[in-house]
Amino acid sequence: MGNFEICNDNIFDLIEVQKVINCPELSTQLKAYVTAMVDPVILPRLFDKTRHEAVKDIQELTLPLISTFFKKLEELDAFDAVSYDCMITIFTLEFTKTKDQEVVYNVFNRWAELHTNRKSGWLNLIKRIDFTKVSKKFMADITSSPMMLEVFEILGLSKTDNLSDKIFHCHATFSQSEHNLNRKLYLRDMIYYTISPMFPLCGLYIVGSSLNGFGHNASDMDLCLMLTNKELDQRRDAVPILNAIKNKIAKVEWVSDLQLIVAKVPILRITFNSPFHDIVVDLNANNAVAIKNTHLLFAYSNFDWRVRPLVSVVKEWAKKRGMNDANKSTFTSYSLVLMCIHYLQCGVSQRILPSLQDMYPEHFNNNCDARNLSVDVTLDIPVEDRWKFNTDATLSELLLGFLKYYATEFDYETDAISIRLGIKTTRSEMLKGNASDTINAQWRCICIEEPFTHMNTAHSIYDVVVFKAIKNCFSSSWKCLRKYRDFNKFLNGPNIQEELGTHALIPPGGVLFNHPKDGTIYKSDSNDNPKSPIPQKKDVVEVENMKPSPVVSVSKKSQQPRSKNRKKFKKGNNKNSRTNLIEIQKVEKEVVKTK
């Protein structure tokens, strides 16, 4: 076959010829032209015209190019002339996720408006857009589209369902904006480049709500400093590491204040000067499970578009009703997220969420190295015979169902929540084979299993009077929303504190209070029977003047049994390290006594 010039004007004729003669030489020339293509405007049509076995290899070349030039192709209206089969083949869920959702919507909308017979195809395409990732302004703009009624119906935001509309609007109002996320990413980089000279092989990871898809604009930023893939003793090793970081960044001009808080997982709380004065950072050291949790919850937040709006509204409702503060024997935000996921797994007639740990064990397991996890890795769409997506339930139905489930159906005495299992289970099943008194003591008022450590994330709820008020709030909120369907009334109803009145919290193990005469602290149990006086201590322990070792590192020596370390310190081998150990021992005693 002789040489001839291929161009955009004749390539489609040559494609048709190739379908008939299947000439290897022509195939080579066509592929060379597509690979070196300068003007991409014909790529969608080329993809459409090469759905034939003889030119299948040419079609395989066009799809990556469509992905590369996608924004430009949208500007050139290059998708207007392609068939529905072509559109549905190009815009797979995986392909669509990687693109700007607003640009994808514009492509679909323009494609549908050109021909009236494309309406049904448009409805199928539009389901692949994640509307939680579009801006509030964009959502407001597209309501003027004559086809927006179908969009609202697909989203469960039908104009006849005013409640669903308000739920989604609440989510769009409070959820973390892309601008705020970018600010946090920039601040994370600033902190990393400041402390990385101390730990050259470290990694600094955003964890928690700022990255898991359930963040609000007012959310603090949690950071995890990873030094090793092995677990550290949080009290022995993490405190000196965080204290060394505190001393390092105390002199940085953009840092406003630093506070080292010794808890079960010690954190360094950092506040900043302008322009980051509105962001608070809690930094921990080597708490790898936080990275795994973030990775898992991010996957849940993206599995179905309704998960994020439901969680946003439940968190805002709990906050306004006084049920989102672990210090007051109520829920943590993390526990509320797990409750929502459990409901979508087990509390609906047709399941909306599976157990991702069961469906994707290679992605979500305890044995993986947390440093290699990334929220950018997309999951394969489950095959239909293994999982069928439920798109019927509206947001209003799900919110009412959530409240009803925890008001009337969930048995707090016997039932337990485990998104790891993804099925209804009981306390006895969760505790089977676990003889640890520490773990058993945690399963008090409500049992919500942490998906990796299997501990109770709701152990902060210990006061039975407060818990009764919480259950009453679930019940009254469900009845109110079902009767009036008034979202504002539901969101801004009475705070549980009104029911609690002057009730005083009694922590497990008793409380500490000052004697009115001599200032001596007495310990009291839940029956308010004074015990013998004990030395006065602070309720909150803050490490201010600990002297770090000359080199703070994670070594094999630091992971040896403590008795061996003590023996070395008694010999006076390292004066500074001995000071550290004595201080940490004091802190441990403080924490034990305050508990």
pLDDT for residue 188: 96
What's the whole-number average pLDDT of the chain? Answer: 81
Of the candidate CATH numbers 1.20.20.10, 3.20.20.140, 1.10.1410.10, 2.60.40.1080, the domain formed by 302-477 belongs to: 1.10.1410.10
Strands of 511-514's sheet in order across: 511-514, 521-524, 530-534
CA-based end-to-end distance of the chain: 87
Element (H, E) at 255: strand 255-261
CB 118 within 8 Å of CB 146? no
Between β-strands 280-285 and 221-226, what pairing exists: parallel, antiparallel or unpaired?
Answer: parallel
In the chain, what are the domain boundaries? 11-158, 178-290, 302-477
Element (H, E) at 366: none
∠ at Cα 57 (54, 61), nearest 5°? Answer: 145
Percent of the chain with pLDDT over 90: 46
Q: CA-CA distance, 310 to 341, in Å (whole number)? A: 10
Number of residues written out for the chain: 595
The DSSP secondary-structure symbol of 200 reads T
pLDDT for residue 220: 93
Residues of the chain with pLDDT under 70: 1-4, 136-137, 140-160, 433-442, 507-595
pLDDT for residue 178: 85
Find the DSSP H helices in 288-406. Answer: 288-303, 307-320, 333-346, 356-359, 395-404
pLDDT for residue 521: 36
∠ at Cα 405 (400, 411), nearest 5°? Answer: 160
pLDDT for residue 191: 96
pLDDT for residue 2: 56
pLDDT for residue 323: 97
pLDDT for residue 441: 55
pLDDT for residue 382: 81
pTM: 0.64
Q: From the centroid of its chain, how far is CA 214?
A: 5
Of the candidate CATH numbers 1.10.645.10, 3.60.21.10, 3.90.1170.50, 3.30.460.10, the domain formed by 178-290 belongs to: 3.30.460.10
Of 34, 41, 38, the closest CA to residue 15 belongs to: 34
Q: CA-CA distance, 385 to 567, in Å (whole number)? A: 62
pLDDT for residue 4: 67
Q: CA-CA distance, 268 to 291, in Å (whole number)? A: 17
pLDDT for residue 574: 40
**Any idea which residue has 């709990």 for tokens?**
318
